[in-house]
Structure formats: C-alpha cells, structure tokens
Structure 1
Amino acid sequence: MNVAIQISPQSKSAYFQSYIDVAQKELAYLCKDVSFEYACIGTLEFLFADVEEDKLWELVHLSFVQGLYAQEGRFLIPLEVLPKFSLHEDFVFGSKYRGKTNETLTQLLLNVGLATIRNDIPESDTVLLDPMCGRGTSLLWALRYGIDSFGLEIDPKAMDDIQRHLKKWTKIHRQKHSFRQSFLGVKPNKKKQGVCIDFQAEQTAFKAVHGDCRSIRKVFKERTFSLIVTDIPYGIQHHVGQGTRNPLNLLRESIPVWGDSLQKGGAMVIAFNRNIPKRNALLDVCIASGLDIVDFSIPHRMSESIVRDVMICKKG
C-alpha cells in the first residue's frame, strides 16, 4: 500500500539541519526492502513509501514519525496505527535537565540496535545495557518498548534525580510499579556511592547503579547483554580527571569490557561527537575489541564544535 510517513517537528530539534537525511537513513536501515521518496506539502514534510500492511507497526515506531497516512490519489487518509508503548511518554519526555540525551535520538539508537540483532536475538529475549546512562533516558525508553535494562552512571547525583523523576510521573499517571533503592557492594553512605535503583512497571524492569562504565563485570558479574546503547558525554564527566576532553583513552579501556559482556549476535550502538574522538579512531577501538563494524552513519551538526554521529558494531 502507498503510505505517507509524516516527519515530526521534534526531529528538527534532535537532528537539526540534517533531520531529513537522518529520517531517510533510519527508515532505510529498519526497512531495507522499502523504497521511498521525500516530499513537502505546504509546511508538512513526508516520506512516501510503498509498503506491505504488516510493516505499518514498524514504521510507526520510527523516531521521527508524527503519523501515518494512506495515500489515495490526491488525498491522505490518517491511519489508526499507534505505537505499542508500555508507559506514558512523560516518563521519557517529561523531565528536562541540563545534559539530557535527546529523547528522539535515544529512540533512534534503540531502533537501529534492535534492527541489527533481530535475526539473531528475539526482541522478547533482549536485555539492554547503557554503561553511561545519565538520568536514565535509554532505560526508560527500553521500559516503554517492554525491554529489561541495566545502567551504570558515574555521577551519584543521577540516582537521586532518577528517583525524583520516577516518583513524580508514577504519581501523576497513577502508574502501578515497584521501586527499591539499595547499595550494591558497599555499606549505605550519605555520598550515595554504589547506590542502586530497581524499578518495575508493566512487567518490565530496569536497574540503575552508581558506578564506573569500566566496572560492568564487578557490578553485574557474569550477566550478558544483547544490546548496548549509549550516548558518550561530550567532554564533561567521564574523563574530566584525565586532563583532556577527548574520551578516546577511556573508550580504549571501556569498549573491550563492554564487548565481553555482549552476547553472540548482540550489538553496540554509540552516539558520539565525531570531532572528539574522530570516527576512524573509534572504529579502530571497536575492531581491536573483536567487534564487526556495521555500515551506518548519521552525522548531524549540533553546534560549532559538536557533530554528533552514531556508530553500530556487532559481535559475531
């Protein structure tokens, strides 16, 4: 059937001047057998595609989608196809704070990751890890998709923020849930070192732990993950003690550890500033860690000094 995929204005705030290119690349990666073309009607923008009806559910979960329409001659008929998310969107989009990973980008990272592993690992068996999870945007997106997840974050204040956001949105939306805060491997302390949050809602759970991104084995023992998704901070937190804003040395230590925790057929999806580190340097680290590079790149300029890109690699 002929379908018009409306591009959401939110994608402009995520991908800036490259939002059309990013939308086309996400669609092409998730639906490799679908042909499409871009068109603008008035102020509305669309990707027109010829798809099988069973593809509609996949299309409506694309990060840039505002809505789907059936094309009948000169008319566009709205389709009643809704994404099947487990939690209200406020859990992901509602809380705003400095340094938050863009919600739309995070959904794209999850989408391309799931597409990369779908022939090897069923989505029902998928377990996600974000080793630099911040305030948990990726973990909350995983919850919305019905995927269990785990996160590590070096900033102990993040755990208080996650708790506060969860308390707010579960109360506002009367969301049934379970919440537990504990300390992992350490005695309770006021500095919140080693604090751990367990949250469950709609038969899906996440665990967020205060800890170093290199300490996956120490924290999660022998647990393995089918998908690692992370947005590397742009020179702020995880490598400030090294006297440089370039996270490459940290990544040389981290990515082999992350790769060891990946299941066979699993994938790693990393968003990064391709100015620091350079894309080829990051690819070299992944290759040296025994990972296979997947052909996918969506460079888009965020500011004068930051050109964000996404890299995908897979464990054979």
Structure 2
Amino acid sequence: MPRYAILLAPSANRVYADQASRMSRAELGAFGRVLSSPVEEVGTAEIGGVEYLTFEGELMGRDMAFLSNLSSAYALFERVDEELLRPCALSPLGRYDSDLITIPKYAGKTNEQFTKLVLNLTLLGSASAERMLDGGLTVLDPLCGRGTTLNQALMYGYDGIGVEIDGKDVEAYKLFLQTWLKRKRLKHTAELVPMRRQGRRAARRLEVTMAASKDDHRSGAVQKLTVLHADTTQLDGLIRGNCADVLVADLPYGVAHGSYEDEGGLSRRPLDLLERAVPQWLPLLRPGGAIGLSWNVKVAKRELAEDILIAAGLELVEYGDLLHRVDQGIERDVVVARKIG
C-alpha cells in the first residue's frame, strides 16, 4: 500500500505548533470519511531530522484535493523508501489571496490554523462533507468577532453569516473587508443597514456581495456575506431558518472574552451562553448540519458542554484527542455535533 508523509506548516503560535502534529492526526482521521478508502497506520516519523505526519492509503480521484485542505499541511510526499520522498501536488481551496486570513491582527484573535481545523472537522461531521470541494455551502458563526471564521469560509468559496454583539468589532470587520476588497480591485458591494423587528430597530446588518474575478461577477458567481450586530441569544425573526450547512463558534474563554447577560452585565461563563443560545441556533441549521465549538475547559468541563448539545437533540461526532494548551489560563477543546433529521 502506498505510504505518504505530510510536512506540517509552521505556526505563528509556538504553543500551537508544538501540538499541531497530534491534532493533525485527529483531523486526518476525520478526512478519512470522504476519501475513497480509509487512511491507515497514521503516525509520525523523523525524516532528515524533520518530523512528518505519516500514513498509508490508496489515494484516488478527489482524495488528494480533499487532503490538500488539511489545516496544518504544508507539503505532501509519497514515501519511496525510508529516506526518499516524491512530492505530490497540492490544490487547496483558495478562492482569494491568503492575506485575507493573515492580515488581521488584534487581541483575542483565534489562530488561523486552528480556525481552519475546527471548520474542517465541522464540515466533515456534517451531511455536506462530500460537497466540501464544490462551494455553494453556507457557514454560520454566531459569535463571529472580527470574522476569522467568516474569512476562512470565503476562502473556501462559501457564503457566510455572522452574529456579533460588539458593534466595534462589526465596524472593524467592515472596514477591513472593504479596504481589502478595494486594494485587490475585486467587484463588491458592502452596506451596513438597520434591521427592524415588530416595527422596532432590532439590529444592524452588514451585507457584502463579492466575486473573486470580473468573469465571476459577470456570470453571477458571487459570494454573499451577512453580519448582524445583534445578541446571539435573541435571533428570532432576524435570520431565516434552515440557512446554514454548518455552524462554527469559539465560545467565550472566561479570561479576556465574555458574553452579555439579560441584566446587561458581562458573563464569562461559556456554558450559560451555550444553554441559552443553542435553541436559537438549531432552527438556522439545515437537516444534517453540524455544530463545531471550541472553548476553554478550565472554566467549562467538556461533559457539561456535551450534555447541553445532546439535550438539544444533537448527535455527537467522535474525533480523536483535540485538547490542547493555548496559554497559562486557557486549555482549549473542540466538540462537534450533528443535527439529526
């Protein structure tokens, strides 16, 4: 059986880079769900003094295209023998230049590789897994901040819907995206408009339409992005149901992040937010859609997060060990659950 070796990409976050190999093993196992045959003998090997992620498998058809999107993949080789590697061409989804992802820098930004990993795991756990390479999907981030997950969705050729309670973050994201689109000379429209519910102003909505090329724009092959400046626990009437194929969110970490309570104070309890928000989120997911969440286990145990999702009627998707250290106060984990029916 052919043997392969993946050279993992360096990460700007040293702590994350130290754990990328272990997490990539779990992600590679998830990709096995859409490959022609399962990957086997997943492990690591030192070749020429450099660590590689290794596996065996019969890669056919679109298999190489799927694996090209592994979040930490830098280069893929077929192992001719123990020391000789033959390069394999990668073709990652990349509708736009990579600086759409890498330019934004701000306090609290989630590592880009981790964002891609969570989106991948959620897609692969959903009924849309086989369509990952084909575009036309919609990603919902109900705690979108300044749009890291939404930008990754755009890179994949998907539409995006975001919700963010902090108006400054919505304004900052609008400014960045408009500036980036103008600098790249891409056809687009971007407008921030008020929304009303029962005759009252309930939210503001950022609406962006964009195309990767002039030919795409002329043919109508455009992507749509919507970001609501609203409370994610009060979305009734603001977003139509069954609009998203996957939902990906980074819950408040309980350190420098928070969510607002009914009384107007700042809560640093992510499970309180999750319990209140899941009933609002589920109607937005299409049947077979999946939810992917990351959070700080130092302030919220995994079992309790799973209990909330199961109680809402979701089915857990089992992956390998994804628990990892971010810094002294944050130890992060990932859970994925699928909407049944």
Q: TM-score, with normalisation over the residues of structure 2?
A: 0.84
Corresponding residue number in structure 1 for 2:20: 19
1:218 aligns with 2:237: yes
* Equivalent in 257, 261, 277 of residue 254 of structure 1: 277
Identity of aligned residues (%): 30
* Equivalent in 299, 303, 316 of residue 276 of structure 1: 299
Corresponding residue number in structure 1 for 2:80: 72
SS in structure 2 of the partner of residue 302 of structure 1: strand
More helix as a share of residues: 1
* Equivalent in 56, 61, 73 of residue 50 of structure 1: 56
Contact 2:123/2:129, CA 8 A, preserved across alignment = no
Mean CA deviation greater in 57-66 or 13-22: 13-22
TM-superposed CA distance for 1:68, in Å, is 1.2
Corresponding residue number in structure 2 for 1:201: 211
Gaps of 5+ in 1: none
* Equivalent in 251, 255, 259 of residue 238 of structure 1: 259
Contact 1:274/1:308, CA 8 A, preserved across alignment = yes
**Distance of 1:131 and 1:45 partners within structure 2:** 37
* Equivalent in 179, 183, 187 of residue 194 of structure 2: 183
Corresponding residue number in structure 2 for 1:106: 115
1:306 aligns with 2:330: yes
Corresponding residue number in structure 1 for 2:94: 85
Contact 1:15/1:22, CA 8 A, preserved across alignment = no
Mean CA deviation greater in 222-231 or 281-290: 222-231
**Distance of 2:308 and 2:79 partners within structure 1:** 46
**Distance of 1:224 and 1:128 partners within structure 2:** 9
SS in structure 2 of the partner of residue 216 of structure 1: coil
Contact 1:3/1:71, CA 8 A, preserved across alignment = yes
**Amino acid of the structure 2 residue aligned with 1:249:** D
**Amino acid of the structure 2 residue aligned with 1:59:** L
Write out per-residue CA displacement over residues 79-104 of structure 1, whole angstroms, 9 at most, x where no aligned residue.
22221311111111111111112111
How many residue pairs end up in the alignment? 314
Contact 1:197/1:207, CA 8 A, preserved across alignment = yes
**Distance of 1:276 and 1:250 partners within structure 2:** 13
TM-superposed CA distance for 1:152, in Å, is 0.3
Corresponding residue number in structure 1 for 2:104: 95
Corresponding residue number in structure 1 for 2:182: 171
1:10 aligns with 2:11: yes
**Distance of 2:12 and 2:279 partners within structure 1:** 33
**Distance of 1:43 and 1:193 partners within structure 2:** 55
Cα 1:11–1:5 change in 2 (3 A) is farther
Mean CA deviation greater in 215-224 or 148-157: 215-224
**Distance of 2:95 and 2:15 partners within structure 1:** 23
Contact 1:177/1:199, CA 8 A, preserved across alignment = yes
SS in structure 1 of the partner of residue 272 of structure 2: helix
Write out per-residue CA displacement over residues 51-101 of structure 1, whole angstroms, 9 at most, x where no aligned residue.
314321111100011111232233223222221311111111111111112
Runs of 4+ in 1 over 6 A off after TM superposition: none
Cα 1:156–1:209 change in 2 (3 A) is same
Write out per-residue CA displacement over residues 137-174 of structure 1, whole angstroms, 9 at most, x where no aligned residue.
11111111111110000000112211221133223333
Contact 2:128/2:289, CA 8 A, preserved across alignment = no
**Amino acid of the structure 2 residue aligned with 1:34:** V
**Distance of 1:141 and 1:11 partners within structure 2:** 17
Corresponding residue number in structure 2 for 1:134: 145
**Distance of 1:121 and 1:56 partners within structure 2:** 14
Cα 1:110–1:175 change in 2 (3 A) is same
SS in structure 2 of the partner of residue 218 of structure 1: coil
Mean CA deviation greater in 66-75 or 102-111: 66-75
Contact 1:159/1:197, CA 8 A, preserved across alignment = no
**Amino acid of the structure 2 residue aligned with 1:216:** L
Gaps of 5+ in 2: 213-221
| RMSD between aligned residues | 2.5
Contact 2:298/2:329, CA 8 A, preserved across alignment = yes
Cα 1:58–1:13 change in 2 (3 A) is farther
Write out per-residue CA displacement over residues 152-200 of structure 1, whole angstroms, 9 at most, x where no aligned residue.
000001122112211332233333333222222289x9xx962423242
Cα 1:25–1:64 change in 2 (3 A) is same
**Distance of 1:83 and 1:310 partners within structure 2:** 23
